Structure 1
């Protein structure tokens, strides 16, 4: 009888612990009607007087390097079109006095720049002849604003967008420059920046970042067989004992781009319905960005238990 009672009590305790564990998990969502409003709602979670504008349709590659500047300048990343600023984004500029435009006039027009200046904003455009030069110029601005960095991240600006998004939380947290390359070569100006920073990380396996390039930079490689494993390795390397995460759709990376300044201490996890979500085990808070389907959210909840 005592043995039976003990077994029943143990079962009740297990059920209670499971319920408590499940109830301890908080799942939030930040979602707008479109990518622009989502970026605006993400900005609402931050206190800022400087903003960074990126054209996510034409120049998401330019935006990849903006996460470090967002951290250095304590600025949200807001999404715009080439020739217009969506009303939801325009509203979030009212509390700013300085605005960075990332990319050339082909990404954000001169008309937008002139209009912002006439409205009284201090406007600074950071661009280049291509995405690689833009990343170098952004890195130089990060150094001007924040001073020397202790680490830098070298990514593939063509095939490594997901990897760059995975590292964006760390780049924002540490104001660590993100240098774009083609995965095989690096410009002399970019190499000068990298060589001036003690801790260098190349993001992605050999198919994304060549061994020759990684060795020439004295970088430590962080990569997995797919974007999910790379994402997991980045989190395990740079985040210890975290229990709060941001969830972003793995195939639509624009929400992760907007979120990077907000995710400094609660990293971005790239997810889809069938992705490896083991990094979420023990999570107490998860914030879904941009409207993630219910099935994926449920799988994330299960992974957290």
Structure 2
């Protein structure tokens, strides 16, 4: 019952840029234009400048590099390939980037010329290690790199696949790989002497008796220093690779895959895999053997990396395709989840294979460890199940919550299986799970659009004053242009404060924005409440509502102190005013109350935010007398970081999160751009490139609707030119969001 799901390579995080890993498997590829360039790409992916050592081997043959891979891994350095008489330019550039402490060249002048060594000496000190043949060279490499080790790996030098997987395993254990003539009836005395000098008590023979003779195994067992000899082998090179990895890696966060029919790509990959404690599997070009599929599922890595281009590993392996279904194990599951009815999702799948019963497990994150609920067990022929979110989880995951529901398909293939459905697979119990990566949202409430609303934290004057090129004076027209682009009927703005826009401007930030938005260029907006007044000591008045008089009529409005309505407001904490107004839609005559709210940030005020938002809800209910409410603003709380925060309290109180609309755009980007900022870091909150999450991104900015059916469309307004922000509307460290909602 194996299932591997492939997902994009992004993860959740909270408000702070600290990532929270999900139990999902992403697949990537490292490749270059040739074997030399591929080795460089592998090196770049795992090694930073200043490595202690780089091993250099010929790219024309494999024996020298096999032992060098484990040596490089154990010393924290990469393995690069060169031609006999030249250093490819791509390799030279990588060596310049790495700035290694030293360079080890493996192999004699028949493999790598003295001219190449002379060129390498211009980069770092160089040492050449070689021997009279491949076996002597292998031993010399091991002697140079390892003075002690409890384990020694031995593999045939007549072929490469067995030693490749062994190199990664050995490197992760700081153990040598020694090549031997597997057809021989004995072991060279130089090898047995080396084993004794290491102090090794365990010898691991890699490969069956066709690769390494039983006579060699017997000889190793006769050595007084060796207390245990283990042979790791399978029916072919692929199952031998699985045997090595099963013995060495009970679990791993990463796994690497290389072709078993050619050696160049895997040589450098073995050094990288060993250095990060990850297995290296050798496989056929187009698919994964069943034993490999099961082994990867048991290890449960979050990342799988293919080594080499599609000529070495075909594009079908981007989806970890199995060669054929094994008896007793299912094919790779293809799982799909979609919204169903209110508070429901539908999960369907194909490729289940053999099973005795099947179920679906759901939760709020990929591991399913939080907010978990399950279906009943169904007969093995079942291919779809509809789940209903339990009543106690509807605030977190139900209709209108705006939060994704992750799912896994669980299968037993045992007539004596229990009715439990744990979130961890078990081979011994014939219990398998599809890996995380499939998610959806609970079904939405049907409605039609009557009004468009928007919300934007525009970043205060003080918030960007010290950021060159991003002061309010620099950003003001970009903010206005972004609001004009959204073309909303009502706009909630926060952090447009009473501070002077810039020295000598003679107007506050909110007044400056009011003047811009009044222009037909930016939408001809009015402000709902302009009797703001000065903020005073320890108070901020940055929340405002703007509206289009052609779409809605303003009935009455105001601004209210959060401190005045929130019990337990700390005496030293800055008071915050929220703006509110009652509007009537000109299209249908229906009225609603809107509010712009900005709650205080910081972990110390988690409980205060919860109390404050409940107080705001009570105030708006009293003001509206039961008419629809549109509550918008920066709540400084994300579901990923605080599942029981104000956003969940509002859903529990009957609000609908507009991001739960059936049509959503850019929900894999956060609404706050400081979170996981990836470039332009000297300008906090103003990256050139937005960070894209693997699944739905954390949000702290919201649009909520109450006493109304909900939303038809939600947009996190990110305008890109290629992969970069379009600077003409990048006016804040937050993104504007807008929604089309139905108020009747």
Query: Larger Cα Rg: Structure 1 or Structure 2?
Result: 2
Aligned counterpart, 1:37: 37
Report which of the two has the higher share of helix. 1
Structure 1 residue runs of 4 or more that deviate by more than 6 Å after TM superposition: none
Aligned counterpart, 1:69: 71
Q: Give the C-alpha shift of residue 197 in structure 1.
A: 1.3
Aligned counterpart, 2:195: 194
Q: Give the C-alpha shift of residue 294 in structure 1.
A: 1.4
8 Å Cα contact 1:228/1:275 also seen in 2: no
Q: Cα deviation per residue 1:171-211 (whole Å; 9 max; x = unaligned)?
A: 21122111111112321111111234111011111111111
Count of paired positions: 281
Q: Please tell me the root mean square deviation across aligned C-alpha atoms, in Å.
A: 2.0
8 Å Cα contact 1:194/1:217 also seen in 2: no
Following the alignment from structure 1 to structure 2, what is the Cα–Cα distance between the partners of residues 22 and 181?
39
Aligned counterpart, 2:283: 271
Comparing 101-110 with 170-179, which one deviates more in the overlay? 170-179
Match of 1:65, SS state, is helix
Q: Give the C-alpha shift of residue 275 in structure 1.
A: 4.1
Q: Cα deviation per residue 1:261-304 (whole Å; 9 max; x = unaligned)?
A: 21122211112224413222244311111122112333448387
Aligned counterpart, 1:139: 142
Unpaired runs of 5+ residues, structure 1, are 1-17
Aligned counterpart, 2:219: 216
8 Å Cα contact 2:287/2:321 also seen in 1: no
Q: Give the C-alpha shift of residue 120 in structure 1.
A: 5.2
Aligned counterpart, 1:250: 260
8 Å Cα contact 1:68/1:176 also seen in 2: yes
Q: Give the C-alpha shift of residue 124 in structure 1.
A: 0.3
Give the alignment of 1:128-207 within 5 angstroms: 128-143=131-146, 147-159=147-159, 161-183=160-182, 184=184, 185-195=186-196, 196-207=199-210
8 Å Cα contact 2:165/2:270 also seen in 1: no
Match of 1:201, SS state, is strand
Following the alignment from structure 2 to structure 1, what is the Cα–Cα distance between the partners of residues 131 and 158?
16
Aligned counterpart, 2:90: 88
Following the alignment from structure 2 to structure 1, what is the Cα–Cα distance between the partners of residues 78 and 317?
27
Aligned counterpart, 1:51: 54
8 Å Cα contact 2:258/2:283 also seen in 1: yes
1:110 to 2:109 alignment = no
Following the alignment from structure 1 to structure 2, what is the Cα–Cα distance between the partners of residues 46 and 300?
29
Match of 1:246, SS state, is strand
Aligned counterpart, 1:280: 296
Q: Give the C-alpha shift of residue 254 in structure 1.
A: 1.5
Following the alignment from structure 1 to structure 2, what is the Cα–Cα distance between the partners of residues 133 and 88?
30
Q: Give the counterpart of 1:230 among 231, 235, 240.
A: 240
Match of 2:155, SS state, is strand
TM-score by length of 2: 0.36
Q: Give the C-alpha shift of residue 240 in structure 1.
A: 0.7
Following the alignment from structure 1 to structure 2, what is the Cα–Cα distance between the partners of residues 243 and 70?
21
Q: Cα deviation per residue 1:119-167 (whole Å; 9 max; x = unaligned)?
A: 1521100000001101111111112xxx3111111111003x1000011
Match of 1:175, SS state, is coil
Unpaired runs of 5+ residues, structure 2, are 8-23, 222-228, 323-331, 334-433, 436-744
8 Å Cα contact 2:206/2:231 also seen in 1: yes
